[in-house]
Amino acid sequence: MKVVAKPIDMVAWFDKEGVLHPVRFRFHNEDQSDMRVKVDRVITRNIEKLAGNKMIVYNCISEIEGISKQFQLKYELSTCKWILFKI
C-alpha cells in the first residue's frame, strides 16, 4: 500500500454504542476527477495516538475500478476529519 494521506468526504453511521462505521467516501484523483468508493468490508478498527492526536484507524477492502483493493482510513477524533491514508 502507498501512503497518500488525502482528505476525503465520508458517509458514515453510528450504532447504539457510539461505534463509527464508514459506508462510502469521495476523493479527487490525480487528474482532479471525483472517485467514489463504497466500503465493502472493515477488516480491523484500532485507536492510534499520533503526536497527541487520537485517531481511529480502519483497514478496509473494496472494489475500486473493478479490482479488489485494501486501503486504510483514519478518523481524527479532535477535528472530526477523515483521511484516506494508504491505498
* Owner of C-alpha cell 476527477: 33
Measured between alpha carbons, how far is 59 from 35 in angstroms, rounded to an integer?
A: 19
Are 25 and 9 within 8 A, CB to CB?
A: yes
pLDDT tens figures, 2-20: 899 999 999 999 999 999 9
pLDDT tens figures, 15-71: 999 999 999 999 988 888 899 999 999 999 999 998 889 999 999 999 988 999 999
Torsion of CA 66, 42, 53, 51, to 10 degrees: -70
